[in-house]
Amino acid sequence: MRKKMNSSFFVAMIPAGIALNWVANSIVELLKLPLFLNNIGTVLNAIVLGPIWGVVTALLTNTVLGLIVRWTYFPFALVGMFVAYLSYLFYKKGWFNKFWKVLVAGAITGALGAVIATFISVFVFGGFSGHTNDVITAGLIATGQSIFSSAFIANMPTTMLDKILTFYIVWGILKIFPARYLPNAKEIREKLGLNNRTKSKDDDLTA
């Protein structure tokens, strides 16, 4: 029964993660925001199911986006896969137990992700991948900056803010997610510092 429940949970979480990425990205595309927000489900699945499943979520998400929205999404799956592993690493190291740590982890992930995204943007698409950032890149090139530095400067703040928001949203989801549905609920509560908070409240009541 336990294995069947876990299998069902895995089967449900993968498409749910892809759908979450899709919806958030669609809102960004619709409003022409200088963000991405297509890694929320990826980070969530990396933490709840494990890094491999986070990578799978990222790969499938970019495949869907590449086929339906814009083909330039395909190579950027590498960024999503990197984010899946790094978010899991931060989670395991206890960086999801405090608000400020979540923001710092997101910023670091975004900064490193921006480097990967810049290389993809420049060497695969010549610096222009069809994202809102292209306007900033073009403006910087017009001032005499190189294509690489222009793409990097355009990508860095956007990707950092994007991953900060992504980590914060996932952190919020995990804090309210019904524990009974999580196969690793005890570990997640410990990593988020929720068990310690409960114990402190109990100690205050018994004092």
Residue 60 C-beta-side C-alpha neighbours within 13 Å: 18
39 touches 163 (CB < 8 A): yes
Give Dmax (Cα) for the chain.
Answer: 68
What is the share, in percent, of the chain residues with pLDDT greater than 70? 91
| pLDDT(135) > 70 | yes
Distance of alpha carbon 195 from alpha carbon 148, whole angstroms? 46
CATH class of the region 2-184: mainly alpha
Hey, where are the domains in the chain? 2-184
Long-range contacts of 12-16 (CB under 8 A, 24+ apart): 13/44, 13/45, 13/48, 13/49, 13/53, 14/45, 14/49, 14/53, 14/56, 14/57, 14/60, 16/41
If one compares 67 and 178, the residue with the highest pLDDT of the two is: 67
Give the mean pLDDT of the chain.
Answer: 89
Angle between helices 51-68 and 77-92 (to 10 degrees): 150
Distance of alpha carbon 53 from alpha carbon 59, whole angstroms? 10
Picking from 2-6, 70-74, 103-107, 132-136, which range would have the lowest pLDDT averaged per residue? 2-6
Give pTM, 2 decimals.
0.89
